[in-house]
Amino acid sequence: MKAVLLIDFGSTYTKLTAVDLDREELLGTASSFTTIETDVNDGLTRALAALREQTGEVQYTETYACSSAAGGLRMVTSGLVPELTGEAAKLASLGAGAKVVGIYAFQLTEDDLEEILASKPDIFLLVGGTDGGNTACILHNARVLAASDADFPIVIAGNRTAARECERILAGKEVYVCPNVMPRFGVLNVEPTQKKIREIFLERIIRAKGLSAAQELLSDIMMPTPSAVLAAMELLSNGTACESGIGELVGVDVGGATTDVYSIADGMPEHMNTVYKGLPEPHSKRTVEGDIGMRYSIGGIIEAAGIDKIAALSGLSPARITELVALIKADKSTVPIENGDLEALDFALASSAVLEAVKRHAGSIYETYTMMGQTFVQEGKNLTHVKNIVVTGGSLIHTKRTAQIVSHALYSPSDPASLRPKQANTWVDRHYILAAMGLLSTHHPDAALRIMKKELEYHGDSE
C-alpha cells in the first residue's frame, strides 16, 4: 500500500484525507478544530488520532497540505477603471485562491489608504493601464503606498511602461513585478500573477499564519485551500491524458461565512445575433460571495432573498425565522440536530444562498435593437449548457434534500436574463475530499481524478 495524507488547515476545522494510491481509494477522513491561536499541531494531532481510529497505524509516503486558516489569503487590489484593469485584478486574485477584502479604482486617497491599512491584507496587487497606456494612476498609487507604513508584499502587474518605476518608488518594501494582467484592451493575462501570489503565500504567508510549526510533518504546504478546490474542479472537468473528465461544470461551496462558486466552461455566446460585452471571462473562474454564508453571513442571505422568500421555502413564519436567526447569531456552531424548525430554516437558507451566489457568478443577457434589427447583449458567462454541478459545504452534504437545494442553481423562467445551467447532473462531495484531491492532483492527477469519480455521489439530471 502506498498511502498519502492530505491536510486542509481550515479556519474552523483541520480536515484530513488518507488515500491509498495503489488501490486508488479513500482510507479514511477525519477532522478537528483548528488551533491557530495556540499551535496548529494541537488540532492536527487530534485529527490524526481520529483518523487512526479508522485506518489503524499507517505509514504515509507523502503528506501535502493546503490552508485557509487565520482568514486565508487576504488581498487588496487597485486598478485604473473598475470594469477593466480593476476587474482583471480581482479575477487574478480570486483565481489564485485569495479572499479579496478591498477593491479600489482610480487614484488612491488618504481615506482609501486608511481603509487598506486597517484591513491588514496579506498581499496588495497594484495594477492599472494597458501596456503603453495610462501611467499616472499606477505611479500615483505606488507613491501613496511608498509613503505609508504598509508592511505587506506588493505585486505590481500593470502597465509595463511604468512597472519598473513603480518598483523604484517602492524601494524598501517587499515588491514583486509581474506581466500586466491586461496588456491590451480586453485581453487578460492573469496566470503569471496568480503563480506569483501562490509563491508569496508559500514563502511568507505560511510563516505569518503560524503553519510553519507543522512543516516538519509535511512534504509540502502547497496552496491556499480555494486554489486546491479550483484545481480539483479543473481536473474533474478536463480530465488527464489517461482519464477523461466529466466535461464543463459549475461548483458551489456553501460555507459558514462565504459561498464560493466555480465554473470550468467556455461561457461565450451561442447565437450569431448575440454580442458579448465586457472583459472575456476566464475558462476557469472563481467568485466569492462574502455576504452569503450559513452562519457568519446569515443576514446577507436573508437580505438578498427577502424574509418572505425564506418563509415560503421553510414553511416558518417570519417571527419564528427572526427567533431562530437570533439563536444562530448567538451561537455560530448551532446545527439542526433533532430540531425540525432549524432544519427547515437551513434548507431555505442554503437554497437561497445557492440561487443568489450562482446568479451573481453566471452571466446575463438582455435584448436591444440596432439598425440591423433585434440583437442580444451578453455580459459574463453563458452557463446554460453546462451539464454538471458539483456541490460541497455542510448545509448541502449533511442533508437528505441536497437535490432540492441544488435545483435553485438552475435556470428559471421567472428570471430569463440569468444564464444559469438549464439542467444538470449533480455530484455531491459527501466526504469533503475536493480540496484534498486538488492537492493530490499536483503529483498524482490520474489517481485524484479516479478517486473523485468514484467517491463523489452522483445524481442524474436535476430539473
pLDDT digits (tens, 9 = 90+) for 155-192: 999 999 999 999 999 999 999 999 998 888 878 888 88
Q: Do 178 and 103 fall into the same domain?
A: yes
Structural domain contains residue 350: no
Phi first, then psi: give them for residue 157, nearest 5 degrees: -145, 50
Q: Within a domain: residue 283?
A: yes
Q: Are residues 128 and 158 in the same domain?
A: yes
Residue 215 cell numbers, joined: 512543516
3-state secondary structure of 16: strand
Residue 338 burial (CB count, 10 A): 6
pLDDT of residue 188: 81
- Mutual angle of helices 160-169 and 136-146, in 10-degree steps: 20
> Positive or negative, the Cα torsion across 431, 435, 436, 438?
positive
Q: Please indicate, yes or no, whether residues 82 and 52 belong to a single structural domain of this protein.
A: no
- Which CATH number goes with the domain that contains 177? 3.40.50.360
Beta strands in 307-456 (DSSP E): 364-370, 373-379, 388-392, 424-428
Q: Is 319 domain-assigned?
A: no
The boundaries of the domain holding residue 181 are: 73-203
Q: Is the pLDDT of residue 456 over 80?
A: yes
> Looking at 249-253, 278-282, 356-360, 439-443, which range is the least confident one?
278-282
Asked, for residue 65, whether it belongs to a domain, the answer is yes
CATH code: domain of residue 40: 3.30.420.40
Residues 284, 433, single domain; the answer is yes
Whether residue 98 is found in the same domain as residue 36: no
* 284 vs 248: CA distance, rounded Å: 10
Are residues 132 and 15 located together in one domain of the fold? Answer: no
pTM: 0.80
Q: Distances in Å between the alpha carbon of 6 and those of 34, 44, 199, 382?
A: 15, 12, 20, 34
Co-location of 146 and 244 in the same domain: no
- Does 191 lie in the same domain as 105? yes
38 occurs within a structural domain = yes
Q: Are residues 373 and 276 in the same domain?
A: yes
Contact present, 384 and 411 (Cβ < 8 Å): yes
Residue 441 covered by a domain? yes
Find the radius of gyration of the CA atoms of the chain. 23
The amino acid present at 448, given as its one-letter code, is: A
Same structural domain for residues 192 and 171? yes
The answer as to whether 339 is a domain residue is: no
User: Do 83 and 156 lie in a common domain?
Assistant: yes
- The verdict on 42 and 128 lying in the same domain is no
Amino acid at 255: G
Q: Which residue has the cell 491524458?
A: 241
pLDDT in tens, 313-366: 999 999 999 999 898 888 877 777 667 889 999 999 999 999 999 999 999 999
What pLDDT shows up at residue 316? 93
Q: What is the mean pLDDT of residues 126-147?
A: 91
Q: How many domains does the structure of the chain reveal?
A: 3
Q: Say which amino acid occupies 58.
A: V
Alpha-carbon distance values, 208 to 122, 195, 200 (Å): 9, 19, 11
**Does residue 324 belong to any structural domain of this protein?**
no
**What pLDDT is recorded for position 274?**
84
Q: What digits encode the pLDDT tens for the residues 189-239?
A: 888 888 888 788 766 656 555 555 555 555 555 677 888 899 999 999 999
What would the grid cell of residue 351 be? 437554497
